[in-house]
Amino acid sequence: MKSQFLVFGKLIVILSLAALLAPVSLASAAGPAFESSLVCGGCHEATHRNWNASLHALSFTNPIFQTAYQKAYTETGGEAKKYCLRCHAPTVQVTGDYDAKLAITREGVTCDFCHTIVSVDLKNREKPFVSEPGKVKRSVLKDATSPHHQTKYSADFASSKLCAGCHAFDNRHGVSVGNTYNEWLGSPYAKEGKQCQSCHMKEIPGATANEGGRNTIHDHSLSHNIASMNDAVVVTIKQFQRTSDRLGVKVMVTNDRAGHSIPTGTPERRLVLEVRSHDASGAVLEVHKREYHKTIVDADGNVVSSDGDVFLNGVKIVSDNRLGPKESREESVVFSQKTGRIDSVSADVYFSYQALVTGKTEMRIPVFNTRTKTTQ
Ligand code: HEC
Ligand code: HEC
Ligand code: HEC
Ligand code: HEC
Ligand code: HEC
């Protein structure tokens, strides 16, 4: 990845000059252009509505990406566009529109990019997909006919490989900053043959096409989906010791339902466990916290704490205590009884994102909560 950046340093200058001189539609002269999701949505209304709510649809325009991208762009004198956009606006791989002048670029991970993928080669880390925009749209239906395009069955669409091209990434120093695919490869789910799609693109009611379609679609709303996160982590509390001044509990935290580590993806994500003691009225007496995350440092040993820095400046993973797929971790927590008589203990698990938009903003997404009465 490092060499890619260095090599592109020179290339970019030439390319961006060419872009200034040439008309914007340079790419379409070379072959058929990608079609807008709005065209697809004319017939695939249910899927379009579904995708429109996904982070794939927002992968270029969302303010969290834009903030990090602008920082990376400035710090690298523009080189970052070659690196970031190949996943966040993947049509640029074919159109060469690295300055985002075409509307299709701003559609992010759009219908026609995925559905014209003809092959996936994960060994080619910089360009794993070959996407050939044109009349043939591929996916998992074996006998589909459409008035607008040709169709072709492709087994890749039912495989994690299709996701891996973007959901496994090293930064420019070769540090594995996000590697959902490899976490999954080593999991029991991969051995059972359960792919990313088995959990993230379930069959839901809806017409594949307004006319002549069937009545279930695969869910395209890939995002921070609260429903899929609920109970992804399960927590149980066991009391183990009570003395006149202390109460000890054991808390078991299990990654019950994610096919990869929790949290996965960019290291900005933290999973937080909060264990609290309460008195008989329910008031909180004491709080203990545990955090599960991956910590990456820069060349000076400082923790890098924004997505942009992680991609640009992270040189080493110094710790990683995330919960692996199906892993259970036991945490011991000791409460003092001096703060008041403990009547119950509760635990919450939530995701905390320190997203950098204009300043740091914390977002919390609840995952699990439980409360148990203590015994005398
Ligand atoms: C004029 C209507 C129409 C338009 C526009 C249209 N499609 Fe389709 N498409 C269909 C119909 C009908 C089917 C067949 C559905 C079925 O058999 O259940 C289909 C099937 C598909 C399939 C399944 C292919 C397979 O073999 O698995 C894909 C993928 C697809 N379309 C993608 C797209 C994309 C991407 C666009 C926009 C670039 C698009 N379609 C635009 C009508 C349309
Ligand atoms: C062309 C690249 C690309 C492909 C292929 C791709 N993704 Fe993504 N995906 C992204 C990007 C980029 C984002 C982040 C969007 C953002 O938040 O800015 C994302 C976001 C997501 C999210 C939401 C993550 C979150 O932070 O909540 C899920 C879930 C997801 N993808 C699953 C999948 C699955 C499953 C597949 C395979 C069927 C897949 N993706 C294929 C690029 C891709
Ligand atoms: C990240 C890549 C990706 C994007 C973006 C994407 N799809 Fe799909 N699509 C898939 C995959 C993967 C499947 C098969 C899922 C499975 O087998 O579990 C699929 C299946 C389909 C099918 C076959 C019917 C079905 O639901 O299984 C149609 C039609 C379709 N997509 C249309 C669209 C349209 C229209 C858009 C944009 C509004 C879109 N897709 C965006 C990856 C994508
Ligand atoms: C056994 C089911 C299962 C499988 C298989 C699975 N996932 Fe997940 N995934 C989940 C659950 C549950 C969550 C929510 C918990 C979390 O965010 O870690 C999740 C979360 C995610 C997120 C982060 C969403 C967020 O908001 O933080 C991404 C990205 C993702 N999965 C991508 C993938 C990819 C890519 C694959 C295949 C390589 C995959 N998943 C395989 C169940 C699964
Ligand atoms: C190999 C593909 C890939 C490359 C290259 C890549 N990203 Fe991402 N990025 C993703 C995926 C996939 C996600 C969402 C899921 C996750 O966290 O794994 C994501 C998530 C993000 C997020 C979090 C967005 C949110 O909605 O929370 C930011 C910010 C981000 N990327 C910025 C960048 C920047 C800046 C660059 C270039 C320096 C870059 N990315 C390069 C694939 C990529």
Give the pLDDT confidence score for residue 19 in this predicted structure. Answer: 35
With a 6 A CB cut-off, is 56 part of the ligand 2 pocket?
A: yes
pLDDT of residue 81 exceeding 80: yes
- Side-chain-facing half-sphere of 336: CA atoms under 13 Å: 5
**C-beta of 144 in contact with ligand 1 (< 6 A):** yes
Q: How confident is the model at residue 374 (pLDDT cuts 50, 70, 90)?
A: confident
- What pLDDT is stored for residue 28 in this prediction? 45
Question: What six digits make up the tokens of 77?
Answer: 């004198």
Distances (CA, A) of 298 to 170, 173, 305: 15, 10, 10
Segment holding 271, helix H or strand E: strand 269-278
pLDDT of residue 361: 60
Is the same domain home to 117 and 183? yes
* pLDDT beyond 90 at 333: yes
State mean pLDDT over 104-133.
95
More confident site: 30 or 209: 209
User: Looking at residue 118, what DSSP letter applies?
Assistant: E
Pair (300, 327) in one structural domain = yes
The answer to whether 228 and 256 are in contact (CB under 8 A) is no
Percent of the chain topping pLDDT 70 = 86
Q: Does residue 125 have a pLDDT over 50? A: yes
DSSP code per residue over 121-180 = -TT-SS--EEE--SSEEEES-SS---SSSEEEE-GGGGSTHHHHTTS-EE-TTS-EEE-H
Question: What pTM was estimated for this model as a whole?
Answer: 0.91
CB 201 within 8 A of CB 194: no
310 and 357 part of one domain? yes
CA nearest to 166, candidates 219, 125, 218, 111: 125
- Residue type at position 67: T
- Comparing CA positions, the residue from 140, 254, 264 lying closest to residue 198 is 140
Q: How confident is the model at residue 5 (pLDDT cuts 50, 70, 90)?
A: very low
pLDDT tens per residue, range 285-330: 999 999 999 999 999 999 987 878 888 889 999 999 999 999 999 9
* Same domain for 275 and 360: yes
Other residues' Cβ atoms within 10 Å of the Cβ of residue 369: 12
Residues facing 297 on adjacent strands: 303, 316
Pocket lining: 157 vs ligand 5, CB cutoff 6 Å: no
Residue closest by Cα to atom 35 of ligand 2: 196
pLDDT tens sequence across 32-44? 899 999 999 999 9
pLDDT surpassing 90 at residue 26:
no
Q: How many angstroms separate the alpha carbon of residue 350 from the centre of ligand 3?
A: 30
Cα 184 to ligand 4 centroid, rounded to whole Å: 9
User: Residue 305 belongs to what domain range?
Assistant: 226-373
Question: Predicted confidence band at 14 (pLDDT cuts at 50, 70, 90)?
Answer: very low
Taking residues 325-340, what's their average pLDDT? 93
**What CATH number has the domain bearing residue 309?**
2.60.40
Q: What is the pLDDT of residue 272?
A: 95
Cα–Cα–Cα angle for 365, 181, 178, rounded to 5 degrees: 60
Give the contacts of 20 (CB within 8 A, at least 6 positions apart): none
- In this prediction, residue 226 has a pLDDT band, given cuts at 50, 70 and 90, of low
Q: Are residues 180 and 238 in the same domain?
A: no
Which of 186, 218, 250 is where one domain is finished?
A: 218
Identify the CA nearest to 365 among candidates 297, 288, 270, 298. Answer: 270
Residues 165 and 256 placed together within one structural domain of the fold: no
Question: Model confidence at 365, in pLDDT bands (50, 70, 90)?
Answer: low
* Mean pLDDT on 188-197: 96
- Residue 370, pLDDT score: 81
Is residue 296 domain-shared with residue 189, that is, in the same domain?
A: no
Task: Give the pLDDT confidence score for residue 356 in this predicted structure.
Answer: 59
- Considering the domain architecture, whether residues 232 and 208 belong to the same structural domain is answered as no
Q: Whose CA is nearest to atom 23 of ligand 5?
A: 65
Q: How many angstroms is it from 157 CA to the middle of ligand 3?
A: 8
286 shares its domain with 204: no
Residue 218 or 269, more confident: 218
CA distances from 33 to 30, 96, 106, 154 (A): 9, 12, 15, 21
> Of 14-18, 186-190, 286-290, 338-342, which range is least confident?
14-18
Q: What is the mean pLDDT of the chain?
A: 87
Query: How many domains does the structure of the chain reveal?
Result: 2
The answer on 364 and 253 residing in a single domain is yes
230 vs 309: which has the higher pLDDT: 309
Tens of pLDDT, residues 131-154 = 999 999 999 999 899 999 999 999
pLDDT category at 171 given cuts 50, 70, 90 is confident
Domain termination site, one of 192, 218, 244: 218
The answer on 316 and 173 residing in a single domain is no
Which H or E run contains 21?
Answer: helix 2-21
Q: What pLDDT, on the 0 to 100 scale, is given for residue 152?
A: 97
Q: What is the dihedral of CA 171, 175, 177, 178, to 10 degrees?
A: 90
How many H helices and E strands in the chain? 15, 17
> Which atom of ligand 3 lies at the shortest distance from residue 209's CA?
29
User: What confidence tier does 337 reach under pLDDT thresholds 50, 70, 90?
Assistant: confident
Q: Determine which helix (DSSP H) or strand (DSSP E) holds 252, and give its type and residue range.
A: strand 246-255
The Cα 173–Cα 79 span in angstroms is 15
User: Which tokens hold the place of 7?
Assistant: 């090599």
Burial track 185-205 (b if 16+ CB lie within 10 A, e otherwise): eebebbeeeebbbebbbeeee
Mark whether 122 and 193 lie in a shared domain: yes
Q: Give the separation between CA 361 and CA 365, rounded to whole angstroms.
A: 13
Q: In ligand 3, which atom is closest to the CA atom of 216? A: 26
pLDDT score of 201: 94
Mean pLDDT of 205-227: 87
Structural Rg of the chain based on CA atoms? 24
Instruction: Please identify, among 191, 218, 245, the residue that sits at the C-terminal boundary of a domain.
Output: 218
